[in-house]
Structure 1
């Protein structure tokens, strides 16, 4: 059995609302979902979701190889770009290929991936996270009511510009989840927007009123010293890691005791998440995968001993994808379809006319000019000091 080729498709996710964080927004509420189809000589294809613009650089590392050698091929792809490094978009392409390889391996075994990886139960506990920074307070409450109706009792909001406004939003949304739990878990994501001292001031203000479960990415992703300082001076746990591309980048955070919850981006693939989870487990730390369309890494989360909770960003799936999972009872119920449980309807994809993009100039994936350089914890739209 050999890998023979690949194809790229694109689905669109219609969020039904503006989405974004403190760095920017996609007001159209439509984003693209790149799809990689990995082909074999036996007619079974693997599916990976996420950006893979550098696929041509790494495909020679796996062409003609047996796709069942997943972890060996993962290391081979990284070795293939040894001199230039496996970071950024290259790491993304490796992760999406890795996802497709695991999908293939499970399909060949005629098992859902969660079971192939050793999971005992198909339920993965989750928290609600709607990429909700652009929403008004009323829109925010309405969105989280839909999550509460699915049994969620933990949530995360985006914040970081106005501590009083963020506090108001956190308190309002917390009220929504009281129907499911007497003390809902409350989390805030700052998306690398602050300095360490500013983050301490910000979290201390929130903690005057709320029992905050975690603060996420308060400072730049590589700033182990900054995360450590924050962790020492707030009650909330510090969560970070979604934008780190390789387990070697987690080492400073662990060595400096700078993190309480290790995170891994779903777009980086299954093997990366499993290795981060193993590293965390060695230091008695929990892990939490960051959400993405169709929640592919939830399969791996179901199979590890130190999974804490999985981010769920939306209650629907991209147009043209059929996904064998249910969002209910406060988490993800994975199905029994072999592989990742994702089926692509290419006719629907080809018929779609809309365009979407994460990387527009004012979107959340472009860092603002004044990010991390604000003195005040309360900022009006006309005052970016």
Structure 2
């Protein structure tokens, strides 16, 4: 038995292809098409956002550092469940937004259509392309949808995103503000003994006095030697002048990059700072979507882009930044 079939097949992830072909409905090819169409039909049945406080044990500190996390669970009619998370100061607002607005809006939608869902959320709830709370909340939902997609297709998310192209070196963030200079030296030494070769320390201990940070950086560099890579991160707490002052003070210590050195990742200020220092600049982990990253890149403001899937809009938006 043969039949002429015309139409569109939804492939998931918001993609579709048109077909116009004569197929034998009894052939394996036809059966595969039918089976795949069934596989693509999942429905979201529930979305829940909850708040959690996660204690993180840190070497040498008596008390753990408590991190507030928003956790999202997405359930489907096929029993496949996805989980996502994000952070942010507006976590109570994000929780209500997801539970009261996003959850009913996505009820019955196909969680495999990640691109389509992302665009729907953007048009429905963020027509003015704002960042901040919206982007962080959608990030958690999008991550959960990709979790479902990976479980459904029985593939790791990294492979669904296209697969690894090049190895990316890992580093350890260790230089917390809570550490004294002596504790910094001790922890850095422990990490190097464990085989770590890339360390990042937090700066802007006193945003008005970069000399404090410079002394801490100098102490760590002396302790770990010249072969260990050392990065610094101000979490955009410096003014331009203070950031430039710190750059000049620590340039002799071979800093791999200076992360988020100025207020609000101001692209113009970052570009100016980049022209006045030999230290590579990095930013992006707190930016809400690809347009902010485009601004940083177009202004030649950074050497390293750092999209964070927990704030940029999830994997769906992060791959656009990477592209």
TM-score, normalised to structure 2's length?
0.74
Mapped to 1, the partners of 2:44 and 2:272 lie a distance apart of: 48
Cα displacement (A) at 1:166: 1.9
Q: How many residues align?
A: 267
**Is contact 2:54–2:66 with CA below 8 Å preserved after alignment?**
yes
SS of aligned partner of 2:176: coil
Cα displacement (A) at 1:219: 1.2
Cα displacement (A) at 1:277: 1.0
Aligned position for 2:170: 126
Whether 1:47 aligns to 2:94 is no
Q: 1:196 to 1:83 in 2, by over 3 A?
A: same
Cα displacement (A) at 1:91: 1.1
Cα displacement (A) at 1:28: 5.4
**Is contact 1:128–1:144 with CA below 8 Å preserved after alignment?**
no
Aligned position for 2:47: 6
Indicate the RMSD between aligned Cα atoms, in angstroms.
Answer: 2.6
Aligned position for 2:27: none
Aligned position for 1:34: 70
Cα displacement (A) at 1:152: 2.1
SS of aligned partner of 2:141: helix
Cα displacement (A) at 1:113: 1.5
Aligned position for 1:235: 278
SS of aligned partner of 2:288: coil
Mapped to 2, the partners of 1:121 and 1:84 lie a distance apart of: 34
SS of aligned partner of 1:265: coil
SS of aligned partner of 1:33: strand
Cα displacement (A) at 1:6: 1.6
SS of aligned partner of 2:179: coil
Cα displacement (A) at 1:148: 3.0
Q: How does 1:229-308 map to 2 (within 5 A)?
A: 229-268=272-311, 269-278=314-323
Mapped to 1, the partners of 2:213 and 2:50 lie a distance apart of: 38
Question: Residue deviations 1:139-189, cap 9 Å, x none?
Answer: 3234334543443211111112243332332233335544xxx52222111
Cα displacement (A) at 1:9: 4.0
Cα displacement (A) at 1:84: 5.8
Whether 1:92 aligns to 2:136 is yes
**Is contact 1:153–1:177 with CA below 8 Å preserved after alignment?**
no
Q: 1:224 to 1:264 in 2, by over 3 A?
A: same
Mapped to 2, the partners of 1:72 and 1:135 lie a distance apart of: 46
Mapped to 2, the partners of 1:78 and 1:147 lie a distance apart of: 43
More helix by share: 2
Cα displacement (A) at 1:129: 0.8
Q: 1:18 to 1:76 in 2, by over 3 A?
A: farther
Mapped to 1, the partners of 2:261 and 2:110 lie a distance apart of: 42
Question: Residue deviations 1:83-119, cap 9 Å, x none?
Answer: 4654211211100000000100000011222223232
Runs of at least 5 residues in structure 1 that lack an aligned partner in the other structure:
20-26, 279-385
Aligned position for 2:90: none
Q: Which has the higher contact order (CA 8 A, sep 6+)?
A: 1
**Is contact 2:231–2:257 with CA below 8 Å preserved after alignment?**
yes
Mapped to 1, the partners of 2:73 and 2:45 lie a distance apart of: 11
Mapped to 1, the partners of 2:246 and 2:165 lie a distance apart of: 39
Larger radius of gyration: 2
Q: 1:105 to 1:145 in 2, by over 3 A?
A: farther
Whether 1:153 aligns to 2:197 is yes
Cα displacement (A) at 1:200: 1.5
Runs of at least 5 residues in structure 2 that lack an aligned partner in the other structure:
1-41, 88-93
